[in-house]
């Protein structure tokens, strides 16, 4: 996968030289190119921003500089373009999966109050452009959002995750564990500062371990993310699940019974 990132702060992307993503780059699985937007500014001050039309606080990124930068980076190719913004569509595991299937992604990192909207309009007629948000809080610019997205996408690429166990049973992965958080995990020693590892995990009884883990996942989801459980497919809840949720006073839709 080729990945281009345009930003006025290329130093933000130093972490992409490390760990999973860094190794994927060394192996050639990932081709990451970070570009300094100011290289396409014309004046001596390398200006990339200007005052907003209509007034108001802050500054807006100038369209001409972005246009020249994007034109040069894409040449006659057609990457999918991602623009982080607090008003974008939510970045979810589902979108990460979809983007991991693309050959070429271009990330445009805004700063200040964002990028002149005509840039998205212009490239929206030539490329697939998505304005995306990583969550409901306000960052100072798109760089950290891009790091988050590149890590989430990168670990889904074939051969990037060190361990073959992979992405399939993650909390937000589509499939069986979707809408259920992961439960607690433990390793040796069996007692640490007086805290014991739950006995069932030492029992070697795989059926009991699986049931206990499922209970923990359900309890944790009810406690911290009940809205995820509210959307769970009722068909995926067995008799034990229903009894536990009942004990937790969590309302689930009734089992479908004919007539
Ligand atoms: C400028 C950004 C985010 C990119 C994501 C997320 O855009 C703004 N609007 C109002 C106030 C401040 C900004 C700052 N800003 C470019 C830019 C914020 C992304 C961003 C984001 N993705 N929160 N904030 N989830």
What is the pLDDT confidence band of residue 169, given thresholds at 50, 70 and 90?
A: low
Interval between CA 117 and ligand 1 midpoint (Å): 14
Which residue minimizes the CA distance to atom 10 of ligand 1? 113
Q: How does the average pLDDT of the chain come out, rounded?
A: 93
Q: Residue 228: how many CB atoms within 10 A of its CB?
A: 16
Is any atom of ligand 1 closer than 6 Å to the C-beta of 110?
yes
Q: Name 147's Cβ contacts closer than 8 Å, sequence gap at least 6.
A: 12, 13, 15, 16
Q: Is 136 annotated as a binding residue?
A: yes
Interval between CA 201 and ligand 1 midpoint (Å): 44
What Rg do the C-alpha atoms of the chain give, in angstroms? Answer: 23
Nearest to 85 by CA among 26, 137, 127, 34: 137
What is the pLDDT confidence band of residue 237, given thresholds at 50, 70 and 90?
A: very high
* Residue 252, pLDDT score: 75
Task: Enter the tokens of residue 60.
Answer: 């807006």
Q: Is 201 annotated as a binding residue?
A: no
Burial of 221 (0-12, 13-18, 19+ CB in 10 A): buried
Phi and psi angles of residue 257, each rounded to the nearest 5 degrees, phi first? -120, 130
What is d(CA 22, CA 28) in angstroms, rounded to the nearest whole number?
10
Please write the tens of the pLDDT for every residue from 170-191: 656 544 446 999 999 999 999 9
Active site residue 84: no
pLDDT of residue 165 exceeding 60: no
Please write the tens of the pLDDT for every residue from 83-111: 999 999 999 999 999 999 999 999 999 99
* Residue 259, pLDDT score: 35
Q: CA angle, corner 46, sides to 45 and 49, nearest 5?
A: 105
Determine if the pTM surpasses 0.85: yes
């Amino acid at each position: 996968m080729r990945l281009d990132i345009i930003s006025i702060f290329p130093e933000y992307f130093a972490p992409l030289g490390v760990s999973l993503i860094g190794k994927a780059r060394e192996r050639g699985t990932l081709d990451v190119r970070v570009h300094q937007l100011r290289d396409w500014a014309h004046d001596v001050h390398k200006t990339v921003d200007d005052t907003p039309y209509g007034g108001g606080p802050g500054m807006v990124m100038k369209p001409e500089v972005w246009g020249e930068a994007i034109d040069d980076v894409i040449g006659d190719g057609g990457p999918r373009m991602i623009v982080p913004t607090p008003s974008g569509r939510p970045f979810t595991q589902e979108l990460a999966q979809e983007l991991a299937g693309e050959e070429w992604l271009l990330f445009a990192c805004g700063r200040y109050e964002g990028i002149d909207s005509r840039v998205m309009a212009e490239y929206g007629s030539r490329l697939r452009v998505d304005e995306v948000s990583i969550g409901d809080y306000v960052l100072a610019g798109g760089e950290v959002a891009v790091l988050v997205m590149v890590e989430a996408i990168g670990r889904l690429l074939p051969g990037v995750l060190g361990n073959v166990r992979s992405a399939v049973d993650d909390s937000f992965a589509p499939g069986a564990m979707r809408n259920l958080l992961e439960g607690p995990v433990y390793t040796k020693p069996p007692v640490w500062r007086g805290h014991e590892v739950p006995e069932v995990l030492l029992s070697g009884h795989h059926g009991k371990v699986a049931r206990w883990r499922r209970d923990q996942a359900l309890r944790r989801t009810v406690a911290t993310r009940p809205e995820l459980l509210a959307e769970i497919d009722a068909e995926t809840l067995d008799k034990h699940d229903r009894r536990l949720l009942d004990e937790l006073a969590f309302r689930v839709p009734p089992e479908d019974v004919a007539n």
